[in-house]
Amino acid sequence: MERRAFVRAGLAAGLTGFSTSATAITIDPVVARRSGPLRLNSNENALGLAPAARRAVIDGITEANRYPRSATGPLAEALAARHGVTPDHIVFGNGSTEIIRIAVSAVAGPRARIVLADPTFEDVFRYAEPFGYTLERVPLTSDYAHDIAAMRQRAYALDGPVLAYICNPNNPTGTLTDCTAIDDWIGSAPENVVFVIDEAYFEYVHSDRYWSSVHWVREKSNVIVVRTFSKIFALAGMRVGYGIAHPETTAKLRAYVTRNTPNHLAGVAALASLEDEAMIPRSLAANQRGRGILTDALDDLGIGRLPSQTNFLMHRVGGDLETYIERMREQDISVGRPFPPMLGYNRVSIGLPDEMERFVSVLRTFHERGWV
Amino acid sequence: MERRAFVRAGLAAGLTGFSTSATAITIDPVVARRSGPLRLNSNENALGLAPAARRAVIDGITEANRYPRSATGPLAEALAARHGVTPDHIVFGNGSTEIIRIAVSAVAGPRARIVLADPTFEDVFRYAEPFGYTLERVPLTSDYAHDIAAMRQRAYALDGPVLAYICNPNNPTGTLTDCTAIDDWIGSAPENVVFVIDEAYFEYVHSDRYWSSVHWVREKSNVIVVRTFSKIFALAGMRVGYGIAHPETTAKLRAYVTRNTPNHLAGVAALASLEDEAMIPRSLAANQRGRGILTDALDDLGIGRLPSQTNFLMHRVGGDLETYIERMREQDISVGRPFPPMLGYNRVSIGLPDEMERFVSVLRTFHERGWV
């Protein structure tokens, strides 16, 4: 009961307590802090659900015994409007991971290959496992971008279907790949190359070298743009992602999707989150402050780091990474996991400002002991 | 606000308003009735979520921004205990439909066939579509059971992998197949036959010729039992189903599952529903009363019907089925859909008792006009 009372108090606060003016964005979280370790290991949005999304979930309970239907159409309409396409360009998944799964399923076949960065988001090669794909892992460039020239070369080396997976900004490095190079490739690629452009962290990026690949989907049937509600909209636990592609492609992909997706509460929460205009600015402001605390400390301590365009960051670890992760766990902080071949780096997610203060204070003690 | 206030009132009622003694089960629904048509078309449980499940969803909102983790382990433990297996025998899906999808994906290959009843639940052949399966549709017997002898014959007619799909009780007919015949087949089948035994409506059955196929999964790796939280537990909108199979088989199936399944709120709601001992008796009591109202009226009007062991029922329709469905829609009642080849029957879901009274009164007017 105590916990529920706290949630309700949080909900009430959420409905009244925000300033959304451009000059003063309040980023205090409106949800109760969970017990257990500080979770800086899964690139979640620690702010919690948008107030409107929490309200939508509670309202949605009365219909959660019915198969999801009522939210799906309006959500597709809202997303289509947002992306300047029609709803038949949208395919839903249980998280963006399902869009990756269905793309991998749809392209699979004899002599099929996946060309991808090394390292990049693991789901694409996890889903490839049962299909006998050949994986063409292409190391990132020295500035941690996708090596588009090398990926093109590997894609064209043989015949057969190719899935080119580009995660931009890239997970786990948080770094950008120049969109001009991606556009050049998409514009000239043969039809046997299917592009899966994963833009899970799209909203976090500030760069004039970065834009969405959505502009291709009206003319090209071999481009699938992947988006998620798990990051900027903080709905990781509810599972809503979507693909944007040519209607011919979405029709083909839908044959592989689990039916009745997304679930009802996820659908209503996603729609409410889209309509809550304060959500993106709040998430960006919180992330910017938390990231600032982290980068200031890393720079102060002289610990090398990659530039981050996301809600996570990679920093250097002296010595064994597993030992570092274990030592953080002893301090009740969950960070990273090994991302080979980058075993000299830890990936840390950006939590709330006070959470980053705590992380940084632990990091300083590690530094004093020569552990980092 | 009006709607939310109503939900909260319902929640409060749900926490105090039930008698669970065997002699007096109160079945009044605790959730608000939705607006829009009376939905008797998707075999949903009109009672709505268990009070404990609604509470769990509200409590779970604070963690819905995190990837689902905390509920999945305890839910697997609880289900394993219920079925007398270890948690590695359980594989989760976004609804039982995902278990069907992954089984279809895992068995697919050159010369693969699916042997199934005609009619039966459509998802199995929908998922088969992109894989080039040969479908062997075997008509039901004259008493609407699976024709196991004929299915065996079709399964053994050729080499290659075979998925034998048995939905028991069968959807859309609501009828049983004798489990002795199923056990005989499973006990003697070669390894190339993978059995998918769909027990979505298991809890509704009262028959001494019926039992689960779960007892096979410890010794046989080619048996996958499919269960859902969508029916007796009323969680259709939240998407939780699971497969029970040999650990070798669940390991193989997991390679095809969408990651982070089930979603967090579905996980906590499912766990709370399992622990709410009043839920199954309430659902059964409501269904029994609603079904009684329906069968009394059909018998009174002399309208033929199939015996139902589920929360739905098939009854005869004179004339064109689509016309009948459309006329019901004009009365603001959604029923059935065509289930070829049984186009002389309508499938109607069992709603709450007062909903069935309404359906029956409309049915009587149709009968007076000679429409049914």
With CB atoms and an 8 Å threshold, state whether B263 touches A259.
no
User: Contact B63/A101, CB-based, under 8 Å?
Assistant: no
Residue that terminates a domain, selected from A237, A252, A275: A275
Restricting to A residues 192-251, those with a Cβ less than 8 Å away from any Cβ of B are: 230, 234-239
In a domain, A107, yes or no: yes
* Chain B neighbors of A55, CB-CB under 8 A: 4
Query: Is A16 domain-assigned?
Result: no
Same domain, B329 and B205: no
Determine, yes or no, domain membership for A109. Answer: yes
Report residues of chain A scoring pLDDT below 70.
1-35
In this structure, the answer to whether residues A215 and A252 fall within a common structural domain is: yes
Here the tokens at position A199 are 């833009």
* B167 plus B260 within the same structural domain: yes
The pLDDT assigned to B157 comes to 87
Q: What is the number of domains present in chain A? A: 2
Structure confidence at residue B323 (pLDDT): 97
d(CA B80, CA B39): 33
pLDDT value of position B27: 54
Asked if residue B146 and residue B39 are part of one domain, the reply reads no
3-state DSSP helix/strand/coil % of chain A, to nearest 5: 40, 15, 45
pLDDT at residue B18, as a whole number? 33
Q: How far is B301 from chain A (nearest CA, A)?
A: 30
Best of B38, B57, B107, B265 to disrupt the A interface (most A CBs within 10 Å) is B265
What is the pLDDT, as a whole number, of residue A157?
87
CB A129 within 8 A of CB B255: yes
From B254, B275, B296, the end of a domain falls on B275
B137 inside domain: yes
Same domain, A185 and A200: yes
Where is the domain boundary, B275, B295, B312?
B275
Determine whether the interchain pair B237/A64 forms a contact, defined as Cβ–Cβ distance below 8 Å: yes
B258 → chain A, closest CA residue: A98
Q: Which residues of B touch A94 (CB under 8 A)?
A: 94, 239, 258, 260-261, 263
Distance (Å) of CA A355 to CA A28, A333, B213: 12, 10, 50
Please judge whether A101 and B258 are an interchain contact, meaning their C-beta atoms are less than 8 angstroms apart: yes
* A358 at B interface, C-beta within 8 A: no
Interface mutation target, options B2, B16, B40, B61, chain A, most CBs of A under 10 Å = B61
Residue numbers of A between 19 and 48 with CB closer than 8 Å to B: 31-32, 34, 39, 42, 44-48
Q: Which of B55, B238, B259 lies nearest to residue A264, judging by beta carbons?
A: B238
Q: In sequence order, what are the residues at sequence separation of 6 or more whose Cβ sits closer than 8 angstroms to the Cβ of residue B91? A: B99, B102, B242, B243, B245, B250, B253, B254, B257
Q: Does A12 touch chain B (CB under 8 A)?
A: no
Instruction: Check A65 against B263: CB less than 8 A apart.
Output: no
Is B55 part of a structural domain of the chain? Answer: no
Strand-pair category, B345-349 with B312-316: antiparallel
Domain containing B337 — which CATH number?
3.90.1150.10
C-alpha distance from B154 to closest chain A C-alpha (Å): 26
CATH code at position A206: 3.40.640.10
- Residue B51 sits at the chain A interface (C-beta within 8 Å): no
B95–A55: do the CB atoms touch at under 8 Å? no
Q: Assess whether B110 and B252 both reside in one domain.
A: yes
A13 within a domain of the structure (yes/no):
no
| CB atoms closer than 10 angstroms to residue B238 | 32
Are A68 and A156 members of one domain?
A: yes
Q: Does the CB of B259 have a partner CB in chain A at under 8 Å? A: yes
B261 to chain A, any CB pair closer than 8 A? The answer is: yes
Answer whether residue B16 is part of any domain. Answer: yes
Instruction: With beta carbons under 8 A apart, name residues in chain A contacting B270.
Output: none
Q: Which backbone phi and psi does A352 adopt, to 5 degrees?
A: -65, 160
Q: Are A188 and A319 part of one and the same domain? A: no
Q: Cβ of A100: how many Cβ atoms within 10 Å?
A: 30
Q: Which long-range contacts (CB under 8 A, 24 or more apart) does B178-186 make?
A: B178/B145, B178/B148, B178/B209, B179/B209, B179/B210, B179/B211, B179/B213, B180/B209, B181/B146, B181/B148, B181/B149, B182/B146, B182/B148, B182/B213, B183/B213, B183/B216, B184/B148, B185/B148, B185/B151, B185/B152, B186/B213, B186/B216, B186/B220, B186/B223
Regarding whether B196 and B83 lie in a shared domain, the answer is yes
Residue B23 has a CB neighbour count (10 Å cut-off) of 5
Nearest-CA distance B257 → chain A (Å) = 9
Range of the domain at A296: 33-49+278-368
- Tell me: do A124 and A263 sit in the same domain: yes
Along chain B (372 residues), what's the average pLDDT of each consecutive run of 10 residues? 37 34 47 73 98 98 95 97 98 98 97 98 97 97 98 93 98 98 98 97 97 98 98 98 98 98 98 97 98 98 98 95 97 96 97 97 96 90
ipTM: 0.91
Residue of B15, B65, B122, B276 to mutate, testing the A interface (most A Cβ within 10 Å of its Cβ): B65
* Partner-chain residue, chosen from B234, B236, B263, that has the shortest CB–CB distance to A239: B263
Whether residues B13 and B106 fall in one domain: no
* Cα Rg of chain B, angstroms: 21
- Cβ atoms of B129 and B114 within 8 Å: the answer is no
- Structural domain includes residue A22: no
Q: Which of B230, B237, B166, B241 is nearest to B198 (CA)?
A: B166
| Residue among A32, A106, A130 whose CB faces B62 most closely | A32
Chain B residues with CB-CB distance to A253 below 8 A: none
Q: Are residues B295 and B261 in the same domain?
A: no
pLDDT for the residue numbered B318: 87
